[in-house]
Structure 1
Amino acid sequence: MVTATIGMISSYRGLEKRIDWLWQQTPHPLGIWGNMQMQAPAPKPDFLLMYQFDFYQPPQQKSWWNRIRKQQQTPEVNIENLLRGVNKERIIYLLREPPLEEVLDITKYNYQQAQKFCGYVSGPDDFAPTPNYMPAIWYHGNSFRELNEMPPPEKVSPCSWITSGINRTANHRQRLEFLQSLQTSGIKFELYGRNLPAWAKTSGELVNKWYGMAPYYYNLAIENYSDNNWYVSEKLWDALLAWCLPIYYGGPAAEKLLPPGSFLRLPSLDEKGVAYIREVTATPDAWYAAKNAIKEARQIILHKLNLLNWLSEFVDQHA
């Protein structure tokens, strides 16, 4: 029986207005998972999730959202008015963006402010009040039941990479330099994404990431950040849920969350990395060898790492 409603606020534009946010991550109707129901805009929820919420910055500062995406300055608002009457111990703050050097001051400021209003404050970095892995969300349009029950889809091409042309931090620029090296190497892979530089040979943008992953044996899952023990993002979850074998570049968190053999570790973003991709993608052998591990990893993502499962467990502990 559903006992709790969870509302949500976020600085991701338009997200908190979506009544169906995360509903594709449960087999049950209307966002129900276990003892709770996800209802982002609920006016009087039992619990409130502050999901990558940027607190007002003084004029001399800019939030992560504004600095990286060049949006308007975060307006000053009365935070109490956003909390919908939820008690502090039932307010959850989850920060999900990586702790890049360029925005460390903003991240720390968000944590400082969050502790004034939230009973639980967490993020994927060592200086978070509660350092922890990000609960999993994914960006496929498939239903939970379809993802849970499907066999591997037909694989017809070696490798894909879905990325963007963001270049405002050193980590983003390193990724673009590696992309350029990979494209000039002659290795066969399909590139999808938005705002990519003019020199990139791209197959175009995708509305649904599934179509840029499911037909491929391998997917390049390259994080924007790899320098701590906590950060791992949907890049890995999306690839595995599409039954790809990820060629992964990121921190060590992935090994702690997923079974051995469910992804391959890209050694570096340089010539050594290019050579590794060339060797692996030359045949589908590694994918066939990893099928059982991929199957196991998919179940862990869907049932254990799932943000809805995480929220349900939080409700159990704080009801």
Structure 2
Amino acid sequence: MSIRTVGMITGYQSVTQSDWLWQQTPNPFGIWGNIQMLAKEPQPDFLLMYQFDFKRRVSAKQSWLSRFQNKQVETVNVEPDLRGVPKGRVIYLMREPPLEEVVKSNQKNYKAAQNYCGYISGPDDFAPVPDYMPAIWYHSNSFRDLNEMPPPVKVSSCSWITSGINRTANHRKRLDFLQNLRSNEIDFDLYGRNLPATSNSSGELKNKWYGMAPYYYNLAIENYADNDWYVSEKLWDSLLAWCLPIYYGGPAADRLLPEGSFLRLPSLDEKGIAYIQEVTSTPDAWYAAKPAIAEARQIILHKLNLLNWLSEFVEKFD
């Protein structure tokens, strides 16, 4: 079996490493099945445009959302970035949710992608191919460790890793829920960057593993829950750390993961607060969910894995 190389370009300014996704395979140098993920490969066989913005914002240091909202733009000449890959082998994957503030920009990117890409998908109904975003995760553990490890020792009840981003209505709703949890003295450990001083945060973590693995439960709260497609690493990270996620998000997770592998947070209000308080009062739900969590972890690692998705895509050309 010949190995096909997959290059990558992205609109994420911080994603510049040559070993992107290499932690998501047990094999060296980004090999998974019939592909090798080589983000910087000058002449790849296939090219992944990952959350790529066809309009370059003036400030390259802005967040993805700020760049979308910045009206001072210049058109990007993407031809050099395509590295000679034929249109049919260029893949466009939108990763961010269709928040109201960026929907128009997302639609423009989908339209522009039709000039260069043979496959265009995103987690929203107006994408050419509406679909969930294949899984990536943000633990630094090796694939083999995640795949083979038993549950780590659990010593604390519940954690939440989030950020103080407040640029959209959905982000502000999540921060309001955080403040309500604190006001009601719900017991959980909070980690993340740029959180309000009143949130009683333990600060930012370099490795999310340390803020999840010792806990029975983890709050996995999406910043978008209004369609059938969007689900993010918040759920994958939680399950890979052997947590039982208390999940707030859309129904995509129900289609992708086994029943009982996560709990549904009913709402971001008093009802949700009462639910968290009741569930986290004992570890009973975690013990009951262990078999489903184990099954979900294998699905994430081997099936939902973005490398596996790319391998299956490339196989169609063989």
Q: Shorter chain as normaliser: what TM range?
A: over 0.9
Q: How does 1:167-316 map to 2 (within 5 A)?
A: 167-316=166-315
Find the counterpart in structure 2 of residue 155 from structure 1: 154
| 4+ long deviations beyond 3 Å | 68-76
**2:271, 2:143 → 1: CA distance?**
38
Find the counterpart in structure 1 of residue 5 from structure 2: 5
Task: Measure how far apart 1:3 and its partner are.
Answer: 2.1
Find the counterpart in structure 1 of residue 51 from structure 2: 52
Task: Measure how far apart 1:76 and its partner are.
Answer: 3.3
**1:2, 1:275 → 2: CA distance?**
55
**2:85, 2:174 → 1: CA distance?**
41
1:110 aligns with 2:100: no
**1:14, 1:163 → 2: CA distance?**
18
SS at 1:164 equivalent: coil
Distance 1:210 1:64, change over 3 A: closer
Decide whether the 8 Å contact of 1:2 with 1:32 is kept in 2: no
TM-score, reference length from structure 1: 0.95
**1:79, 1:32 → 2: CA distance?**
27
Deviation digits for residues 185-206 of structure 1, max 9, x if unmatched?
A: 1111000000111211001100
**2:121, 2:212 → 1: CA distance?**
30
Deviation digits for residues 102-130 of structure 1, max 9, x if unmatched?
A: 11100100100011100000000000000
Decide whether the 8 Å contact of 2:68 with 2:102 is kept in 1: no
**1:73, 1:211 → 2: CA distance?**
40
**2:2, 2:162 → 1: CA distance?**
38
Letter in 1 for 2:7: G
Task: Measure how far apart 1:75 and its partner are.
Answer: 4.7
Task: Measure how far apart 1:77 and its partner are.
Answer: 2.8
Decide whether the 8 Å contact of 2:65 with 2:102 is kept in 1: no
Find the counterpart in structure 1 of residue 138 from structure 2: 139
Task: Measure how far apart 1:70 and its partner are.
Answer: 7.7
Distance 1:58 1:155, change over 3 A: closer
Decide whether the 8 Å contact of 1:2 with 1:37 is kept in 2: no
Q: Flag structure 1 segments of 5+ consecutive residues without an equivalent.
A: none
**1:247, 1:68 → 2: CA distance?**
31
**1:73, 1:291 → 2: CA distance?**
50
Letter in 2 for 1:274: I
Decide whether the 8 Å contact of 2:69 with 2:102 is kept in 1: no
Decide whether the 8 Å contact of 1:66 with 1:74 is kept in 2: no
Task: Measure how far apart 1:69 and its partner are.
Answer: 8.3
Distance 1:107 1:69, change over 3 A: closer
Letter in 1 for 2:6: I
Letter in 1 for 2:259: P
SS at 1:107 equivalent: helix
Decide whether the 8 Å contact of 1:65 with 1:71 is kept in 2: no
Task: Measure how far apart 1:56 and its partner are.
Answer: 1.2
Distance 1:86 1:129, change over 3 A: same
Letter in 1 for 2:20: W
Task: Measure how far apart 1:66 and its partner are.
Answer: 5.0
**2:213, 2:264 → 1: CA distance?**
20
**1:284, 1:71 → 2: CA distance?**
46
Distance 1:80 1:294, change over 3 A: same
Distance 1:73 1:196, change over 3 A: farther
Find the counterpart in structure 2 of residue 31 from structure 1: 30
Distance 1:4 1:73, change over 3 A: farther
**1:228, 1:71 → 2: CA distance?**
26
Find the counterpart in structure 1 of residue 127 from structure 2: 128
**1:54, 1:180 → 2: CA distance?**
34
Letter in 1 for 2:305: N
Task: Measure how far apart 1:68 and its partner are.
Answer: 6.3
Letter in 1 for 2:186: I
The number of equivalent residue pairs is 315
Distance 1:53 1:272, change over 3 A: same
Find the counterpart in structure 1 of residue 78 from structure 2: 79
Letter in 2 for 1:256: R
**2:285, 2:67 → 1: CA distance?**
37
Letter in 2 for 1:246: P
Deviation digits for residues 235-273 of structure 1, max 9, x if unmatched?
A: 000000000000000000000000000000000000000
Letter in 2 for 1:13: Q
TM-score, reference length from structure 2: 0.96
